Structure 1
Amino acid sequence: MEPINQVECWGIFELALPPVASVPGGEFAGKVIFSKGSRVREVDAFIDNSGGYRARFMPDEQGEWLYQINSDSVDYKNGYGSGRLYCTVPIEGNHGPVGVINDKDFCYADGTPYYPFGTTCLNGFKREHMESTLASMATAPFNKVRISLDSSLDDFTVLEEVLVRLMELGVQAELLLDCGSGEAQVAAFVQHVVIRLAAYRNIWWSLHLHGEQASLEFNKLEFLRILEEHDPYHHLITIHSSTPEKDYGHRSLTHVSLQGMDPSQVAYYARLHRKPILMEVCGCEGDAPTLWGSLPGQEMVNRVWESICRGGYAGHGEMFIQPNGHSWHYDGGSLQGSAVPRIAFLRRILEEAPLGLRYMPVFYDAATIGCEGEYYLQYFGIHRFPSRELHLPEGRYNVEIIDVWNMTVTAVTGICEQHVTVKLPTLPFHALRIRRWYPQEAKSIKKYDLSLLGSGSTSFTTDARSSEIRDAEQNDNYTTDLSKKDHSQR
């Protein structure tokens, strides 16, 4: 009996294709067909650095898979192109690729929630910067990094090593694909990238389009077609766009990637697109001679908090210019800013929260996410409120004051009833965390139940948001007992 290749679930099975003399020019024209029962995945082959052909496959279901090389070559028709592999249990820390679970949230393929805390390091993983950049990522709170790729890349060896090492760190790699103005050679490069790298479970795609507005829509559709046809795993896709009002309606686009300096946009675009919102570029902590590259650390942290408490996420940026002209944003290396530990603090707070947090516009004067009657995280930003009057659903609550910059959590004395006034320190960059009190610690659910998803659906079949929040989204003048304030004061 032939030996069975083994690969963990969501790992990479790589198949080296033997030379095909009977194909004109020695080129491989065909696909490798992987099947398990009624499930079928078609995988394209690519030319590797040595000039040979390879195919990569990411099995997503445990058990035996069969494969057949589908080609016009007589060599494969004579039976040399078939085999089988066995997909084993994933190792610890392997949760599969990240996907969209509803109009706000992300999760891994096994249902584990994923909260994107990303950074941008466009060229920091080239050979000369790779080791120092990876060392920084290993101690940073970031679980996603944006990397720039363009058609000048001809040796994928370093990039593939980086993807594996980021995978081991639990970091998603968003590849910013420079699509130029839609030139044929650029399209061929993007197609090669997708075929070659799609089997890495930690890949996201981001299209960076150029050119006149009239050609942008055509180019967007063409590159989305390439991704749809050659990525059998349907990794997350977005556009690096300057026209967010109209660019994200295509069904293949899984989330919105914003550029801008104002995190208050997050709630608006979330309502507009009904897709998760990532403010990927909201500025950089640094000393660069630009408006967006010279933020103080407090403002960088403020924008991340504001984005999250308005129902989205925000990416970190850092641009301290070194004597050689390098910076983290462009060249990687070491992180120097004061924002990084504060972002780590926020990540811990969010990961301790229950699932299903939603933006709550009824709290009109402070950005708030929560689960009604269970949990609220309210951020005050630059405002220095002396106190907050809370009108919560019936029950008892633990209330804590969070000092965002000094990274402290101070409990308000005693268990609070639904109507309470909380005294605040009259300082900027503070938040409130309010959690329903239970006599015994409640067990929180830390995985999404993927059985609640319909076939091919990317959202829950039941809406976890309260009717009050849905009504408030549809009518800005709607008020509830959660806030007695008049919305006309906005």
Structure 2
Amino acid sequence: MRRYNYEKQVEKWDVLEVTADGHSDKNPFVDYKIHGTFTGKHETVTVDGFYDGEGVYKVRFMPSFAESYTFEVTGSAVDGEVLTGEFQVTPAGEGNHGSIRVANTYHFAYEDGTPYYSIGTTCYVWELQSDELIAQTLETLKNSAFNKIRFCVFPKHYDYNLGEPRSYPYEGTPMDSSVLTKENFLEYTGKTEGNHWDFERFNPAHFQHIEKCILALRDLGIEADLIVMHPYDRWGFSQMTKEQDDLYWKYVIARFCAYRNIWWALANEYDLFPKKTVEDWERYAKIICEKDPYNHLRSIHNCIPFYDHSRPWITHCSIQRQDLYKSSEYVNEWRERYKKPIVLDEIAYEGNIQHGWGNISPQEMVRRFWEAVCRGAYPGHGETYMNENDILWWSHGGVLHGESHKRFAFLHKIMCETPGIGLCPYEKCGWDEVCGTPEESTQKQSPVKDYYLFYYSFMRPSFREYHFDDESKFQVNVIDTWNMTIEDRGVFSGKFKVELPGREYMAVQIKRMK
């Protein structure tokens, strides 16, 4: 009798894993298949399994209901035997709200309806560093406001990223990296000479380690925005064939899609791949839509030209700013164009490296965050400060050296106080201010809102005058977004004047009293 194992109880939106012994001859990654069907009272879900090495196959399932389930697992990997079982799904525990979904057109909420306000960061290959550095990164994240992090499956070859990763996704050997220097690294970008990989044999240990990191993020309440492909490569992973790409995508989805905190980022800077076409990206998207039964969030990230974010498979816009100076200022236009959540995953990074994308001030980073939020978008952070060990947060993680990150918890708290789900631009605000009001449907729009969040960025007014109607009473707070203070100014009605300190980065929060 074939051996297989599974837990008899699992939490709602957690992972139920069936592990079975199977064939390890030939090439188990391509010559054998395994899949499972999981059935409860309210859902039936079929998923692909995968080979995990050492003669072991796994099939993973994320249940959406607290109820009894049964399963059948079969395939050529187990000689067509039907492995059956039953298990109980318990209610979701504390902090488990399920996966993130699009809500209210431009915003996000967890599966259980709890609003989610993204405060993201980028650490491209943090999980491919040493155990010590990974632990340091997780501790930094634990003590931060970040609830989303972008990172890659493949290692990265770029400035400050010339070392070898802790592991590789395929069996084989890399080129000799001892020839790499800061001066000649571009010479090796995109080269495949010297690499010896079997693109039909995955290295399970590489993916097992990434899974541990995804789970560690989940336990911290952080979404894993997984960058599945990227062009910064000296190993040949960005130049695989169509068949190799498709095999990779199916393997990644089978391994990771049962984790509730996964987001799919098809690419970082899709337009820099020399050998990929729009048809390729659309094919990958089709694979995700077919193979991921949980409908995790999906995006694709640009360097210069935007992908067509109106494509139906794209759930939200993952945007890198195109203008040298402007970023958040374009949110109104993008919201109107795409009618989807706008996530500014790269509005430039706080730091001091030579590149213009990596040397803005902490004050400017915080300004871009507040402006994006008040316009109804979700900004992302990165940090690129020079140091003697070339350990930059934006790629390696570790510790944060800047000042902007210290101010995001303050902003996130104010975001969470928004009535309803999310802010939208207040079209009646003055030309010299930015204002957000609660997102409302067309049917619910009213001339006087219950909540206003005005932001004055680098302008320094000594006072502002407001008039919404003659009857309502409004409670007014003056917010110093940099110094993180909130001053209660009392209750006003009719036309009223609010004194301001004449400093940059001030905001005024106005709440209508019921």
| TM-score above 0.5 | yes
The 5 A counterparts of 1:465-476 are none
> Could you tell me which amino acid in structure 2 is paired with residue 5 of structure 1?
K
Aligned to 1:167: 218
CA contact (8 A) 1:103 1:274 kept: yes
Q: Which of 289, 294, 314 is 2:359 aligned to?
A: 294
Cα distance in 1 between the residues matched to 2:460 and 2:102: 36
The answer to whether residue 320 in structure 2 is matched with residue 259 in structure 1 is: yes
SS across alignment from 1:125: helix
Q: Which of 415, 425, 432 is 1:359 aligned to?
A: 425
Cα distance in 2 between the residues matched to 1:54 and 1:72: 13
Q: Which of 454, 477, 480 is 1:400 aligned to?
A: 477
Unaligned runs of 5+ in 2: 156-167, 170-202, 231-237, 439-447
> Could you tell me which amino acid in structure 2 is paired with residue 255 of structure 1?
H
How big is the shift at 1:386?
A: 2.3
Aligned to 1:34: 38
CA contact (8 A) 1:181 1:210 kept: no
How big is the shift at 1:427?
A: 1.4
> Could you tell me which amino acid in structure 1 is paired with residue 500 of structure 2?
L
Q: Which of 228, 231, 241 is 2:289 aligned to?
A: 228
The 5 A counterparts of 1:415-426 are 415-426=491-502
The answer to whether residue 272 in structure 2 is matched with residue 207 in structure 1 is: no
Cα–Cα, structure 1 residues 370 and 17, in superposed 2: closer, same or farther, change >3 Å?
same
How big is the shift at 1:17?
A: 2.0
The 5 A counterparts of 1:116-265 are 116-128=118-130, 129-150=133-154, 152-153=168-169, 154=203, 155-178=206-229, 180=238, 183-184=241-242, 185-208=244-267, 209-210=270-271, 216-242=277-303, 247-260=308-321, 261-265=326-330
Cα–Cα, structure 1 residues 188 and 313, in superposed 2: closer, same or farther, change >3 Å?
same
Aligned to 2:178: none
How big is the shift at 1:101?
A: 1.2
SS across alignment from 1:174: strand
Cα distance in 1 between the residues matched to 2:275 and 2:152: 25
Aligned to 1:486: none
CA contact (8 A) 2:34 2:50 kept: no
Cα distance in 1 between the residues matched to 2:104 and 2:274: 31
The 5 A counterparts of 1:296-445 are 296-356=361-421, 357-363=423-429, 364-371=431-438, 372-393=448-469, 394-412=471-489, 414-438=490-514
SS across alignment from 1:158: helix
> Could you tell me which amino acid in structure 2 is paired with residue 346 of structure 1?
L
Cα–Cα, structure 1 residues 75 and 158, in superposed 2: closer, same or farther, change >3 Å?
closer
For residues 409-447 of structure 1, the C-alpha deviation after alignment (integer angstroms, 9 at most, x for no partner) is 1122x3100421212111111000001124xxxxxxxxx
CA contact (8 A) 1:174 1:204 kept: yes
Cα distance in 2 between the residues matched to 1:73 and 1:112: 41
The percentage of aligned residue pairs carrying the same residue is 32
TM-score (normalizing by structure 1)? 0.83
CA contact (8 A) 1:381 1:429 kept: yes
Cα–Cα, structure 1 residues 24 and 145, in superposed 2: closer, same or farther, change >3 Å?
closer
Aligned to 1:65: 69
The alignment's C-alpha RMSD in Å is: 2.3
CA contact (8 A) 2:22 2:55 kept: no
The answer to whether residue 85 in structure 2 is matched with residue 9 in structure 1 is: no
- When the two structures are aligned, how many residues end up with a matched partner? 433
CA contact (8 A) 2:345 2:379 kept: yes
TM-score (normalizing by structure 2)? 0.80
CA contact (8 A) 1:10 1:59 kept: yes
How big is the shift at 1:102?
A: 2.4
292-301 or 180-189: which moved more?
Answer: 180-189
Cα distance in 1 between the residues matched to 2:240 and 2:49: 23
Cα distance in 2 between the residues matched to 1:38 and 1:387: 57
Cα distance in 2 between the residues matched to 1:150 and 1:51: 25
For residues 185-205 of structure 1, the C-alpha deviation after alignment (integer angstroms, 9 at most, x for no partner) is 233222211110001100001
